[in-house]
Amino acid sequence: MVLKRRIRLFKAGLWILGFTPLAWVFHRFFIGDGLGVNPVAEAQLWGGLTSLTFLLAALSITPLRRLTGWNDLQKVRRLVGLFAFFYVTLHFTIWIGVDQFFAWSYILEDIAERPYIMVGFAAFVLLIPVAMTSTKGWIRRLGKRWVTLHRLVYVSSLLGIIHFFWITKADDRWPIVALMVWVVLMSVRSAWWLKSRSQPARAQGMKKGLSGTPGRA
């Protein structure tokens, strides 16, 4: 019971944390500086950065859990991932509805012809099936395929980082930070994967031990 309450508190904290960027942007827009001189560009940047941050946070949960042995982390991974999806959806909606103001011909042209938009759009689209299948029912229905499907997050996050690089003019500091985080998270996974292949018996044992937690990759 105590354990459950701790997780519930932990989750509640995450809900608050998850909506903090949204509260902050609303505060800036309505009470603060109105998002500065170019609010549309500012809102887009905010949506993109926030979603990428949550996406990388979601990707770091499994490695963190394995390194620290803090198993409760796994229980909030879905929530973190869904917040990433929530913010990337906002990012996309702002682009369509505010920046482009539903100028469909320009939107389609941009998706087809601008590599950075194409890549960003792909990153968003890849996350749609992942978000949709995040419910318990889908986890059960898809079984092992669920894990494979949810590895789309690896690709989507990389595409998001490429999108970030391509829209940056000269100062690559933050895209580089994002890429380094991604590389570290993926290296850790690769190292574990290689290790599990060289020690099949142990890996088998581990899999069994974690069978209650789908998609541990």
Partner 1 sequence: MLIRKRRPGEGDIPSSEITPYELYLDRRRFLAQSATLAGVAVLAPSVLGATEAQEDERTPYEDITHYNNYYEFGTGKEDPAKYSGDFVPRPWAVTVEGECSNPGTFALDDFLKGHEIVEPVYRMRCVEAWSMVIPWRGVRLRDVIMRAQPTGKAEFVEMTTVLRPAQMPGQRRRILPWPYVEGLRLDEAMNELTVLATGIYGKDLLNQNGAPLRLVTPWKYGFKGVKSIVKMRFTSDMPENTWQMMASNEYGFYANVNPEVDHPRWSQARERRIGEFRRRPTMMFNGYGEQVAHMYRGMDLTKWY
Q: Which residues are near partner 1 by CB under 8 A? A: 36-38, 40-41, 97-104, 106, 109-110, 113-117, 166-167, 169-171
CB of 173 to partner 1, least distance (A): 8
CB of 122 to partner 1, least distance (A): 16
CB of 129 to partner 1, least distance (A): 24
Q: For partner 1, give the closer residue by CB, 103 or 210.
A: 103
CB of 124 to partner 1, least distance (A): 18
Q: For partner 1, give the closer residue by CB, 116 or 138.
A: 116
Contact 62, 25 (CB under 8 A): no
Tell the residue number behind the tokens 């890549």, with chain if given: 119
Tell the residue number behind the tokens 């290296």, with chain if given: 187
Q: Which ranges constitute the DSSP H helices of the chain?
A: 2-30, 39-68, 77-94, 104-113, 115-132, 136-142, 144-150, 152-167, 173-198, 200-209
What CA–CA distances, in Å, run from 65 to 117, 121, 198? 34, 31, 22
Best CA proximity match to 4, nearest among 68, 66, 72, 64: 72
Sign of the four-CA dihedral 114, 57, 51, 153: positive
Cα torsion for 76, 156, 59, 138, to the nearest 10°? 40
CB of 147 to partner 1, least distance (A): 35
Q: For partner 1, give the closer residue by CB, 174 or 192.
A: 174
CB of 25 to partner 1, least distance (A): 16
Q: For partner 1, give the closer residue by CB, 119 or 127.
A: 119
